[in-house]
């Protein structure tokens, strides 16, 4: 039986995330935005993520957006210090109200990450986005540029770097892509609706 509180929560998220937030940037630039969702109470992940991205080639990178689930003075300071000599544009985007205040109290990492992704895509000004995993070390300095170039050249809606292993999907001959370093077209993501559906959105992406 579904409790009244969970039913109320489901209704809230259906109303809140029935569709992507409308965002109309003045111009949409060809290239990609790196989205960096980070836990605000663990600033070490932000330091690691920015250090990794800084050493990536940026031939097609339009901007980098830091998306903390909790805003702290330390997080603000790290972003501000990195902006001084950052290769390209770097900024922080806050989660919308009221989730900015409510999510830290709900203690739901999955919901945090979903709102970080939605917020980042809604505020990006590029044709594509790349979702960077904050604790992932990239050994190839051109991997993000290559992700975008391949996705753009082949007119792919999205492109992952590796599949997520799940026996159920494997038994049904389906291979969902991992979200780390996932590259996707911004307009395609914004065209998806029913974000709060009880059925999870799975991306089936060729990694070849």
Q: What CATH number corresponds to the domain at position 133?
A: 3.90.550.10
In a domain, 146, yes or no: yes
How far apart, in whole angstroms, are the C-alpha atoms of residue 111 and residue 37? Answer: 12
Annotate 147-179 with b (16+ C-beta within 10 A) or e (fewer): bbeebbeeebebbbbebeeeeeeeeeeebbbbb
pLDDT band at 191 (very low <50, low <70, confident <90, very high): confident
In a domain, 110, yes or no: yes
pLDDT at site 67: 97
Whether the predicted pLDDT of 93 surpasses 80: yes
How far apart, in whole angstroms, are the C-alpha atoms of residue 106 and residue 155? Answer: 39
Strands (DSSP E) contained in the chain are 29-38, 61-68, 89-92, 126-131, 158-159, 182-185
Total domain count, the chain: 1
Confirm if 171 and 199 have CB atoms less than 8 A apart: no
In a domain, 142, yes or no: yes
In a domain, 143, yes or no: yes
In a domain, 94, yes or no: yes
pLDDT at site 81: 97
In a domain, 164, yes or no: no
Enter the pTM of the model. 0.85
Range(s) of the domain holding residue 79: 29-159+180-186
pLDDT digits 0-9 by tens, 138-178: 999 999 999 999 999 999 999 998 877 777 877 888 777 88
pLDDT digits 0-9 by tens, 23-62: 667 788 999 999 999 999 999 999 999 999 999 999 999 9
In a domain, 102, yes or no: yes
Residue 183: partners with Cβ closer than 8 Å, 6 or more residues away: 32, 128, 129, 130, 144, 147, 148, 150, 151, 158, 159, 160
pLDDT digits 0-9 by tens, 99-129: 888 888 888 888 888 899 999 999 999 999 9
Share of the chain above pLDDT 70, in %: 88
pLDDT band at 195 (very low <50, low <70, confident <90, very high): low
CA distances to 55, 154, 169, 174, 205 from 151, in Å? 21, 6, 24, 20, 11
In a domain, 134, yes or no: yes
How far apart, in whole angstroms, are the C-alpha atoms of residue 183 and residue 156? Answer: 9
pLDDT at site 197: 45
Whether the predicted pLDDT of 21 surpasses 80: no
User: For the residues 54-71, what does the mean pLDDT come to?
Assistant: 96
């Amino acid at each position: 039986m579904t409790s009244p509180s969970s039913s109320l929560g489901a209704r809230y998220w259906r109303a809140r995330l029935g569709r992507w937030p409308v965002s109309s940037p003045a111009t949409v630039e060809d290239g990609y935005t790196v989205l960096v969702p980070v836990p605000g109470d663990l600033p070490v992940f932000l330091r690691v993520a920015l250090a990794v991205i800084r050493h990536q080639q940026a031939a097609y990178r339009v901007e980098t957006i830091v998306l903390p689930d909790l805003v702290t003075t330390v997080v603000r300071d790290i972003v501000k210090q990195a902006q001084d000599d950052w290769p390209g544009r770097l900024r922080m985007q806050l989660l919308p109200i009221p989730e900015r205040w409510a999510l830290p109290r709900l203690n739901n990492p999955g919901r945090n990450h979903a709102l970080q992704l939605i917020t980042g895509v809604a505020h990006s000004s590029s044709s594509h986005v790349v979702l960077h995993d904050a604790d992932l070390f990239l050994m190839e300095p051109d991997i993000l540029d290559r992700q975008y170039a391949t996705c753009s050249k082949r007119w792919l809606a999205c492109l992952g770097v590796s599949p997520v292993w799940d026996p159920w999907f494997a038994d049904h001959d389906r291979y969902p892509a991992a979200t780390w370093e996932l590259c996707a077209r911004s307009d395609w993501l914004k065209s998806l609706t029913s974000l709060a559906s009880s059925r999870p959105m799975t991306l089936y992406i060729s990694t070849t």
